[in-house]
């Protein structure tokens, strides 16, 4: 099952950030202002590693 596109709850107005769509194979990410430009896809392992690094404040 693929989730709907959503923005971070930390985004003040939802228009100046990225959107994420999670699914069983990983996640897709796109620019909120340029949706028609496409998206980047990340495998489940890549997405988990990215989220873990965020939680560890590595960015």
What secondary structure does DSSP assign to 37-50, as a single string?
A: G--EEEEHHHHHHH
Contact 1, 13 (CB under 8 A): no
| Residue 50 covered by a domain | yes
| Residue 27 covered by a domain | yes
- Predicted confidence at residue 14, as pLDDT, reads 59
Domain that holds residue 45: 6-55
* Distance spanning both ends of the chain, measured CA to CA: 29
Q: What is the pLDDT of residues 4-56, one digit of tens each?
A: 999 877 776 656 788 999 999 999 999 988 999 999 999 999 999 999 998 89
Contact 4, 22 (CB under 8 A): no
| Residue 28 covered by a domain | yes
| Residue 42 covered by a domain | yes
The count of structural domains within the chain is 1
Nearest to 32 by CA among 53, 5, 1: 5
| Residue 1 covered by a domain | no
- Predicted confidence at residue 59, as pLDDT, reads 59
Cα separation of 26 and 45, whole Å? 7
């Amino acid at each position: 099952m693929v989730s709907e596109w959503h923005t971070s709850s930390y985004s003040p107005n939802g228009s100046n950030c990225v959107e994420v769509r999670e699914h069983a194979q990983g996640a897709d990410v796109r620019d909120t202002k340029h949706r028609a430009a496409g998206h980047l896809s990340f495998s489940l392992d890549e997405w988990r590693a990215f989220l873990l690094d965020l939680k560890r404040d590595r960015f």
